[in-house]
Homo-oligomer: A and B are copies of this chain.
């Protein structure tokens, strides 16, 4: 017995993400995770500190992925095009990995240092996209809040089946973003 599984925290994290995306964040239990990894529950504590710690790792990873997806999406774009592409990249990430994103949304608060850092990276990325607008620092920060509210709000409502009308979702998102950006430009 006790054959080593070669586990490490990354493997545990990836398995947790897989369960989250396939079955929902509430089914990410240490029991389910251990079963998936052919190990007993307490063995997981060699790699993660516990369930709350795992949730934090997932949130952090989620924010990293979102940033990466947005970075990739804006390559070769600037101004309004870039912001639109970044917004879609954000929402498309949530569509592809709803459980992982939900781990972040389910976090009681985002005060954990590492989560904070990943979140700061997202904010700084959006600030970069706003440079062509030559806003004051304060103005830019308000816009970042606006942009984040829009994409997070849209993505989470969509994820929870909050949009029930028979209406193109991408079109809703496109209009939401372009309307906001138009308001910015014509402000």
Contacts and interface: CB of A to CB of B under 8 A. Distances in A.
A109 B153 contact: no
A contact residues, range? 35 or more
A182 B186 contact: yes
Interface in A157-187: 157, 160-165, 167, 171-172, 175-176, 178-184, 186-187
Given A150-B153, A152-B153, A152-B157, 17 more contacts: A26-B108, A105-B105, A106-B106, A107-B160, A110-B160, A138-B167, A142-B175, A145-B154, A145-B157, A146-B175, A148-B153, A148-B162, A152-B156, A153-B156, A178-B183, A179-B184, A186-B186
Q: Which of A108, A154, A179, A186 has the most CB of B within 10 A?
A: A179
Contacts of A186: 182-183, 186
Contacts of A105: 105, 156, 160
Counting every copy of the chain, the complex holds 2
A184 B183 CA distance: 7
A133 to B, nearest CB: 12
Contacts of A119: 162, 164
A126 interface: no
A184 B150 CA distance: 15
A179 B187 contact: yes
Nearest to A164: B116
Contact of A172 (B24, B146, B175, B178): B146
